[in-house]
Chain A
Amino acid sequence: MNVTLLLVALVVFAFVFGQLLHRLVARHVSLSGAEYLLVGVLIGPHLPPRLMSEASLVRLVPVMHLLLGLVGFLVGLRLKHSLKGGRGVLVGISTTLVTFGVVATASTSLATMLLRADGPPVFNQILFGGSGWVFELYASRSHLLVGAAIGVVATVSSSGLLLGLGDSLKLKSATFDVLRSTAALGQLFAICAMGAVLALSREPPTLPVEGFGRWIWLLAAMALGLICGGCFTLFIGKEEGQSRIFLATVGTVTFAAGTGATLEVSPLLINLIAGLTVSMLSSHATVLLQELDRLQHPIFVLLLILAGAYWSPVSGTAWWFPVAYIAARLATVWMSAWVFTSWFTRDPFANRVGAGLIVQGTLAVSVAVDYALGTSQYGAEVLTAALIGTLAFDITSASGVRRLLVDAEADTLSLTGTRAPSAEKGAEAGL
């Protein structure tokens, strides 16, 4: 089938399905958008009626790169607004690092047990042993990469949901600030870390200067991001025309995503840095964000559908990855958020902050897709864990986030005598 027609069919099918789902299921289950993953899986090459073939998916890879670029650029643009200083940042850093550490360790261990090593172990340390048995730490490079990738995905929390709810209800509570900062930091960490993982997964180029090794790709990605952001700022200058700003954005994001795809470094990372640069340097950042906000929904929908279609089912014991991922992330996020929030902020809702960070959203899927596109090794396992995890978290936990935020806001506002927003209002806002 013609690739453009395929894309059209994809979008139309997704919208029809999404509308039906919202009409029929939204009363019973809270829908966050992750349902489009299911749409993708349904039309993908692994389930009948197999609307998309493997070959057509390959032809859509540039589109996926572009979508990843747009997501990265959006995240970069928003970071400046999302990252508020204060103790929320400390909570965010701590929670993110702990989550990454725990989930990555768990995933690496599981990978060591379930997946075949692709080469000699990176480390092999016997801890203790007895007669006839030993307990050793053993991991090859591929195991470490899979574990790190899953750990990276685990650090992502949906800031879109939080920001959307925050904007619609004009939230001011300290809990909301903590959640926002933590989610933003998690996103920043996830994209940068995935960039690093992808860089490390590639062979180093032959360069006249030695000493960089595989890290050269990471540096190249960051430099490209800076250059693209700088070019955008130079290109736009004091331009006020909406269409020109839009054109420059499209051009920059496409170019940055294209360079990422060409050099096999993360388009997400390049665009994140480009977006961050623009938000720091350009006076048009706010206007640009407003312009891109209008495109956000279609971009996310398309990306989720393509991610669903791109997913290929893993075999046998590899299904333990999503199970382990869900369990490890749930426990770690919940506990670490509770501990660090109580520790740093003494928020009365500290025990529920974890619930606000459980929802993952499109970015988690994007990070996983970035990995799957960037490396051919065990991409399916990472994508499976990420997709199933995101689906499970988003469908079950979105309403919990709403409740937490509304409760926290009600608590905050009761001190000032302002009328608290109701949970129904949040629900009416469609969040």
Chain B
Amino acid sequence: MKRLLVVVVLLSLMLLMRSFQAHTDAAHNVITLAAIGFVVLTTFAVADMGTRLSLPRVTGFIVTGVALGPSAANILSHEVVTEMRMFNTLALGLIATSAGLELSSKAILPLLKTLGSTTAVKVLVGAPLVGATLFAASHFIDMGVTTFESRAALATVIGVLSIGTSPSIALAILTETRAKGRLSDLVLGAAVFKDLVVVVCLAVGVAAAAAILDPSGSIDASVLVHVGRELAGSLIAGAALGAILIAYVRFIQAEMLLFVAAMILVVAELCQVFHLELLLVFISAGFTVRNFSPYEHQLLKPLELVALPVFVVFFTIAGASIQLSTAWAIMPAAAAVCLVRAAVYWAAASVGNTVGRESRDIKRNAWLAYLPQAGVTLGLVGIAAQRLPILGPQITTTGMAIVAINLLVGPITLRLALARAGEIPGVAGHATGSSSTARTTLPNHATQTPTTRLSEALERHVTEVQASTRASFFAVWDSLNGSASEQPDEPTQDERLSVVRAYRTSVKDWYEDWTAALLSLPIEVNVARPLSSLAPRSGDRRGLRFRLWSQRVWWGLSEHFRSRSVPVRLCARMTIELTVAKVAVQLFDAALKRRFAPMLSVASDTDRASRMQQELDRAVNEFARLLGSSRTARMRSRDLNFSVIEPHVRAQIAHLDETRDEMHAARAGALWGSEVAQRYVDELRRSVNGLLGMHLSGPTRAAISLTTAAIGRLVDDLSELGRNMQSSSSLELMRVAQHEFNQAQLRVLDALSQCIPRALHGVRELGSALRNDIERLPTELRCYQLFESVTEPQGTIRRVNLREIAETQLSRRLMPTLDQSARTLANAFVHLPSTVKACLEPASLLLEASSDDVTGWVGVRQRLQASSSRLTTLCESMISQVEEEIDRQEVSTLASLDALEREVSTSQLLGETTTHRLRHRLGQLARHLRPSFDLRKPEQAGSPDARELLLVTSRWLHPSVGRDATGWFSQQPVRDERIYSDCAKTLERVRQLESGWREGKRVAVMVSGEVGSGKTSLTAQYVRARTA
């Protein structure tokens, strides 16, 4: 009501302003600014009111635009609308950049199948059908085209234009509803992808239309080349723009909003100059930022701030641009075209979703999401009209009318599709209240609180399931741990295979036992339904409230409605089975790790077990919740659908499949390789530390202790000499001093002369010893990625050249550091003798001092004491210097060894992972193609017999081959004579022999051959023929 009041007030003000407008002869329409403000407020208010009718805001914007625009109320005059179009470029740029920022390659790649096939159907079937519809309609409705050629040309262009889906509406609705999920990704991906396709198709379509109109003309290949150039140029320009954006965010990141707006406007002008596709450039730029940098949030933040005003103005202008009178005249034809387009989209979405194996919700609703058309298509209509001036007005009118319908209807259908697919937060899904991202996420029953406390019977079942699941889990855990705790040695491929098979059998048995135990649960249990469970809650939707009300009524009328039947077994399957399958895979994985790489296991066994146990407990809790809410008004019977869970369970169990034994064995080998690599690294660490002690730090410490001892003695001598100075005769002192000091000097210098080269020599010896160690390292070791987060085993096995890594880290990085340290140590010792000599100077003075000169003696004594203390200080500083240097050596050695370990963990990871992924994808492709090739290759082209077929099929066991078909090539005898085609000659020969026997000849027939060669089949066939 308040907003309505605001609208009325603003509308009155606008009308009042028109009458008081100061002057209208200005260079610009002075009311434009007020009109923009009015549009922003009014449109948003109206759109907000529309949301109460469950209409998307975008529809509200468009409807308001239509109502206020020149075709209707004319509050926004034609001039104002024209002036407001200056926002279009900015808006399109912002929308396209935001769309690009939403496109993660990781999210898009899995959609390619669906998108590709959907678009292919739209292009190949949709465009011709829509064109044909328009062609037919033009016979009945006056569309300004009279000749066959002009009708055909118009139909061609409009047919092509019908392919598009609006990225701006898609983004606006996704932003408004905050929808997330597979359908959201599909819609955005489709809108962007089809934008590419429609540009190419339009170029071709316009060329074709021109050729139809002018029979002397022809479609030139240069059209495609030109379009190709434009597209390639746009993509490259977009990538460059993305790089600029990344650089700006990385190095400047100031005034982001202004920068982005300025960039969009400048680039839009450049696009015009260089004939680039504006949308593609910005989508590509956003895509680059999203996928090649971590800065998408810094860019999205300012865009989100202005997104709403931009959407409001953009869509209002789009609505106001619709010429109602013109569109109305050909509305029946446009409506027919839109209906056919919708039908084609339904078919295209069905095909695409089937090919892409999308979930049921997506299959049902995707076509609704593809319907919107808006600004981009309007722009393309303008381009087409410009390129075909003869048909310009007709293309514009028809295109506008069709876009008008899709513009009004599209946002509603898109929102509906997202809501029905359960991708809008806070809106219950159509089918199960579950997410449509069935491939990746599962229904979140945690959000559905039980309507009642569980009855005793149900509680008992929950307890039983929990107890049995726990018990069986711990049993299999213990059994796997028992077999996995053997010490690993170098396993052969066969050994690895046998271990893998044993583990697989254990966990699969556990899974199957658990599913078998489900049979002990009752199918359904009847429990009482209290009236309180039918009370509505705040936030309940109208439909739900109505259901609750009607059930309350029935509850009072009929006994039947006072109880409910709970499908216990189904609930258990829906909630716990997938978790059990996942835990089975985790158990298998943990057992492999424990067996082949116990050192590398990041998590302890207890942690792993408790994590898995918690998962199982959560699933049981979920089971309890589901029991509480199933078959109530809040969750009806049809919402319980195991088919949603089943593909995921199957996918999990497929991880344990026999056909993957070799892959698991290879992974086990890689795990073992990682273990070995870690051992080598540890061994090398020990060796380097030992060598460091033996060759460098050991000798140096010995040298320093020797030097310290020598200097200590010298200090003692000096102190003694000082004490005896007064009591001894000068001659005696002279003798002692001369003797002692000469000896001391010799000892100190001798010690130093020994330790300096030893230190340097030690480094050389350490280097050669290290080289010997490194040469023993393997050059190729298959390792497994150590990070827990990576779950795809096939993508994480890599080859590690341990020797090369060690060579780089130790010889090239560590050794120069050690050499430098040794030199520093040597320098410390080199300067020592001169310092010691300087300290001894007082002693030589002593020899010259006169015994009678008391003053001279006192001075000499003081000098001796000073020398003594200097030597002590020197000794201490030297010790600390050398200790420091040794510590530094050890630190750098440790750093090098850590770097080595890191490099072993991560080397070649990126390249290898990419290669493995590529190889995996190529492998998948090859597996698809192989059967066709094998069956068609020259040697098979004649008439392959069963054995040959068996050989072929045994190599390409593929899930797409049905059970019946694989049965044809199995080892079992053929019972069905229709498919018995082998050994016709042999059978004939037996028949001949039988005829001979019947004629009295002595005949004995022995059928021999390898296992599976068809002996039993032959005999059975013969007997069957005889019996018949």
Contacts and interface: CB of A to CB of B under 8 A. Distances in A.
B31 A298 contact: no
A297 to B, nearest CB: 8
Given A62-B28, A237-B2, A258-B32, A231 B10 contact: yes
Interface stretch (A5-13, A132-140, A309-317): A5-13
A18 B1 CA distance: 48
12 contacts: A4-B90, A4-B269, A11-B262, A59-B27, A227-B9, A231-B6, A243-B305, A251-B37, A251-B41, A255-B38, A258-B33, A258-B34
Contacts of A58: 26-28
B22 interface: yes
B519 interface: no
A191 B37 CA distance: 22
B274 to A, nearest CB: 15
B36 A254 contact: yes
A320 interface: no
Contacts of B309: 246-247, 250-251
Interface string B239-255: 00000000000000001
A259 interface: yes
A257 interface: yes
Given A242-B305, A255-B34, 16 more contacts: A2-B269, A4-B265, A8-B261, A59-B28, A227-B13, A246-B309, A247-B309, A247-B312, A251-B37, A251-B40, A252-B41, A255-B36, A255-B37, A257-B34, A259-B34, A298-B257
Residue from A3, A205, A263 whose CB has the most chain B CB atoms within 10 Å: A263
Interface string A282-323: 000000000000000110000000000000000000000000
Contacts of B258: 11, 298
A235 interface: yes
Contacts of A246: 305-306, 308-309
A165 to B, nearest CB: 22
A243 B307 contact: yes
A5 B265 contact: yes
B20 interface: yes
Which 7 pairs between the two chains have the least Cβ-Cβ distance? A258-B34, A255-B37, A254-B37, A258-B33, A251-B40, A251-B41, A264-B22
Nearest to B17: A262
B603 to A, nearest CB: 41
B304 A234 contact: no
Nearest to A1: B269
Contacts of B815: none
A224 interface: yes
A6 to B, nearest CB: 10
A15 B248 CA distance: 14
Given A62-B32, A243-B304, A250 B40 contact: yes
A251 B31 CA distance: 14
A228 B1009 CA distance: 98
Given A7-B265, A246-B308, A263-B22, A224 B36 contact: no
Contacts of A401: none
A138 B27 CA distance: 38
Interface in B911-930: none
Given A235-B6, A247-B40, A62 B33 contact: yes
Is the contact region of chain B dominated by helix, strand, or loop, or is it mixed? helix
B184 to A, nearest CB: 19
A252 B36 CA distance: 10
B36 A258 contact: yes
B135 interface: no
Most buried by B among A242, A248, A256, A257: A248
A8 B262 contact: yes
Contacts of A258: 31-38
Contact of B37 (A2, A4, A5, A256): A256
Interface in A211-262: 224, 227, 231, 234-235, 237, 242-244, 246-248, 250-259, 261-262
A255 to B, nearest CB: 3
A8 B308 contact: no
A5 B269 CA distance: 8
Contacts of B261: 8
* Central interface residue in A224, A243, A244, A256, by most chain B CB within 10 Å: A243
A399 B3 CA distance: 48
Contacts of B35: 258
Contacts of B30: 62, 261-262
Contacts of B20: 205, 262-263
A55 interface: yes
A261 B265 CA distance: 26
A255 B33 CA distance: 7
Contacts of B269: 2, 4-5
A28 B27 CA distance: 44
B21 interface: yes
Interface of A: 2-5, 7-8, 11-12, 15, 55, 58-59, 61-62, 65-66, 205, 224, 227, 231, 234-235, 237, 242-244, 246-248, 250-259, 261-264, 297-298
B323 interface: no
B702 interface: no
Given A235-B41, A255-B41, A264-B22, A66 B33 contact: yes
Nearest to A58: B27
Interface residues of B, number: 45
Contacts of A263: 17, 20-22
B266 interface: yes
B45 interface: yes
Given A234-B3, A237-B2, A15 B265 contact: no
Contact of A257 (B13, B21, B33, B304): B33
A253 B37 CA distance: 7
B5 interface: yes
A326 B13 CA distance: 41
A254 B43 CA distance: 14
B44 interface: yes
B37 A15 contact: no
A412 B962 CA distance: 90
Q: Which of B27, B40, B44, B90 has the most CB of A within 10 A?
A: B40
Nearest to A291: B305
A227 B9 CA distance: 8
Given A205-B20, A237-B2, A254 B40 contact: yes
The interface centre, meaning the residue of A2, A66, A224 with most chain B CB atoms within 10 A of its CB, is A2
Nearest to B37: A255
B53 interface: no
A231 B41 contact: yes
A298 B17 CA distance: 30
Contact of B2 (A234, A248, A251, A261): A234
Interface string B349-379: 0000000000000000000000000000000
Given A234-B6, A261-B30, A244 B308 contact: yes
B516 interface: no
B86 interface: yes
B262 to A, nearest CB: 4
A379 to B, nearest CB: 16
Contacts of B21: 262-263
B89 interface: yes
A59 B28 CA distance: 7
Contacts of B28: 58-59, 61-62
Interface in B10-65: 10, 13, 17, 20-22, 26-28, 30-38, 40-41, 44-45
A237 B37 CA distance: 18
A159 B22 CA distance: 33
A326 to B, nearest CB: 33
B424 to A, nearest CB: 16
Nearest to B12: A227
Contacts of A243: 304-305, 307-308
A15 B254 CA distance: 10
A242 B41 CA distance: 15
B297 to A, nearest CB: 16
A116 to B, nearest CB: 24
Interface in B226-279: 255, 257-258, 261-262, 265-266, 269
